Each structure stands twice: as structure tokens, then as C-alpha cells.
Amino acid sequence: MANYIMVVGTSSNSGKTTLVTGLCRLLANQGYEVAPFKSQNMSLNSRVAKEDGEIAVAQYTQSLAAKQEPSIHFNPILLKPKGNFISQVIVHGKPFRNMNYNEYRENKNFFLKKIKESLEKLKDYDYVIMEGAGSCCELNLLEDDIANLRIAEIVKAKAILVADIDRGGVFASIYGTLKLLPERWRKLIKGIVINKFRGNLEVLKDGIEKIEELTGVEVLGVLPYDEHLTLPEEDSQSLSQIKYLGDKRSKITVDVVRFKKIANFSDIDPLRFESFIRFIDFDEDIGGDILILPGSRSSTTEAHYLNKNNFSEKVREFLKEGGILIGICGGYQTLGEKLLDPNNRENFLEEVEGLKILEAKTTFEGEKVIKNSIGVFKNYEFLGYEIHEGRTYTKERRFLKIKRGFGDCGDGYDGSIKKVGEGLVIGTYFHGILENTKFREYILNKVCERKGLDKIEVKDRYREMLEKSFNHFAKVVKENLNLEILFS
């Protein structure tokens, strides 16, 4: 029977995800079989699990930290916001229904049943490290909360409360959270972790002693603010704080359009090692060597704003000068002539003109595609994952021959590849395409050839970075927290 540990927070972004990740790797390094778990997550950044179902990127990443193959049971409920207070609800990896909060709340018992089914699947692991959502004590939501201590109560988990000191008011947030929790849930909290501290620990001593006296709960330790921890971002809101990634000294620059409904933006992370990445808005000029139109929850919305800002003219000038344009999933859909959404599956725009770079059109029809996929390009097999609702019908030369997956419309091919002026256009439904070193090498050396630079040999530094981050944070957790109460 598994041992259950739950990490809950005084607020969103308190550090729950990273602490769960660190605990998963710490225990996995000690030889334990470990499963991450988050009963309900809300994110537009998702990946495909081994069962060809969707889970949040955080639980996917925690799976890698735990040295496990990602499973739909690590994140049984995923909410993907669509706008107008409506989310697409993913249950056990598959689309269930579009629902507003009241509809979701009314179906709480159904979702709780699905969560329990997943917990049953995980009972044979040595440890299940569970992550809460947001604050574990939102008084207006407690009755319907199926993401926090109600789940810990079901499996009799030991819970840790994490608080972010970098925001200020850490002791008040800890005290307020514990005092406002229902008594039966407060008893589940076995320890407190203060996160993101900068400075001399001595200044916290009096505060820690006082909060332990007031609450009766032990402070397990203080985690330092760590600028070296690099994990895929879960929330698109984090992008509002990011303008650049990578090395400014790089001779290759990549521009990424900051879409309104950007999704799966972790696709571009692998490029940070060989290039300098800039996020640009619709009204900004293109100044890089490579332009990426990323994934989006609503490509019809993105196409509307691209056209509103005359982006097509900028793209054609960019391609004329030899630039490389890559459209991934929603970005690929915007490259065609039209996007047709007669049943308003994306929003309320039933027909939108694309950038007309590719002779193609996208129609939103059929079941949502969720696949771990393999495609072949220039005799190389490229791995990726597909999460899309559209079907794209193209007259262009196809980019990938599908060995496993769905592609554009289930016809055995994915994407389009085309020369425009001196430039190159690639559109694909393959998220994760840039994690393939041979594909990055192909694209980056196209730029090197045009600019007269030496060829680049690309190594898998992205996976190396993840492994280094996992092991580094496991070490930080071990050195700074007294976890004996959790493992005894």
C-alpha cells in the first residue's frame, strides 16, 4: 500500500509544483517507486501520457523526475480554459465536456469518483506525492474543492503547507490558512515549508518559533530562492514576465509570437541552448532568423489578430529575405487560407482568413486528436505529440510521413513544407518537434548556411538540463528540510 504525501499551498505559485518535483526525484534516487499526482489541474500547457491521453505539463515533468512513464492517472482531471468562464474538461486524458464553474460544481461527485479511480490505480507505488491547487483554504470554494485536502483525507495523506516568503507576509499567510481550515483538514498538516527565501536565515528564527507556538505545527525548513532551477512553465501567465530566453550573445535569434491564447509554449524551450529567443507581440516587427507561431487554444482568435496587425505582410518580407517560419499546431493552422469553425468549437468566429502563406485550410471537425506520434523526415524518425481539434487540408508538399499518429487529417501525413522567396516555411501538428536534436540541427544549420556561419552540432542539452534540475532540487530539498516526520 502506498505512502501518501500531499503538498498544499497558502496561495498559487507558492512552490507546490517544484517541491513535489524535488520530492519525486529525491525518493526515486533512493530506489523507491514514486508516482506524482494532482487530482485537478488547470492549464493550457499539456502533454500526452502513455495511454494517449492529456495531462498537465507539470505532472508530465514530475513523472520524468520520478523516473516513471507519464500516465493519465497522475492527473485525472485537467481543465483547459476556453474563455467566457468556460473550460474544456479533460477526464482521464480525454475530452469530457465544455463546462462553466456551476456545471462543474454540480458534477463534483462524478469527478470525485474519477479521482478515486486513479488513486486506486496508484496504490501499489511506494510513494504517491500529491500536489494541491492554488490555496488550500479558499473559503468560498471549500465545499466544492476536490483539488486539495479533501483528497488528502481520502487516502490519509500527510500534508505539507508551503508558503512563499518572496511575496511578503509569509507568517500571516501561514497562520491565516491554518486557522481558517476546517479542523479535520487542519489535522492533516504535519509540517510547514517556507519557500523562496533570500538572505540570512537567522532573521527568520524568531518568526519560525512564534508561528510554531501559535499553530502547533512544525516548520520543516526553509528553501532558498533558486534562480538555477529550470523546469517547463505550466501557466501562460508566466510569459507576461518573460521577454527573452537563451543567450543574448548567440548568433542566431528566434522570434516567438506571443499569442493571446498561447498553449504548449514549452515547445520552444529546447532552442534556448543554441539561440537567443525573443517573444514579440502582434504589432512588433520580426527581427530574428527564425519565426515561430506556437500552439494556441484558439487559432481563429490568433488569425484574427494577426490579420488585424497586417502580420502577413511582415511574414512575406521576412521570408523574402531568407527567414525560416515554423508554425506548430495552432500556429500551423493560421498559415493557411481559411479557418472554418461552423460549430463554434473554438470561440464565436465561424470563418477567419489565415495568413495565406500556405495553400491550405483548416476545419474544426471530428474528435479531438490526442496522440504520441512518430513522423519521418529525410529518413529521420521524429517523435512528437499531437493535441488538436482541427483537420488541415493542404495542397503543399507534406512535411512528415506518419509512422504513428494522426497528422493533418488522418491521411498518413503531417504538415507542409514550402520555399517562399529565399525563405522556408514548415507547418506541423507535432508538438515537441524541437526536442528532436536532428530537427533542431537541420533548422539551425539552414540559418548558419544563409549567414555564413560554421555548422552547429546539436546535442540533447534540453534533457540534460531537466535531469540536472531534478537532481539539483532533490539535493536542495534534502539539505534544507527535515522530512523525518513525513517518512516515519
Residue 2 near residue 156, CB atoms below 8 Å: no
73 noted as active-site residue:
no
137 noted as active-site residue:
no
DSSP notation for 454-482: PP-----HHHHHHHHHHHHHHHHHHHHB-
- CA gap 109, 123 in Å, rounded: 21
CA angle 466, 467, 469 (to 5 degrees): 65
Q: Choose among 216, 224, 217: nearest CA to 194.
A: 224
Nearby residues of 8 by Cβ (< 8 Å), 6 or more positions away: 16, 132, 136, 148, 149, 152, 159, 160, 161, 162, 189
24, 136, 137, 329: the catalytic one is 329
What amino acid occupies position 96?
Answer: F
Nearby residues of 356 by Cβ (< 8 Å), 6 or more positions away: 312, 336, 337
Count of other CB atoms within 10 angstroms of residue 263: 25
Nearby residues of 160 by Cβ (< 8 Å), 6 or more positions away: 5, 6, 7, 8, 19, 189, 190, 191, 192, 193, 220, 486
Residues that are catalytic:
329, 431
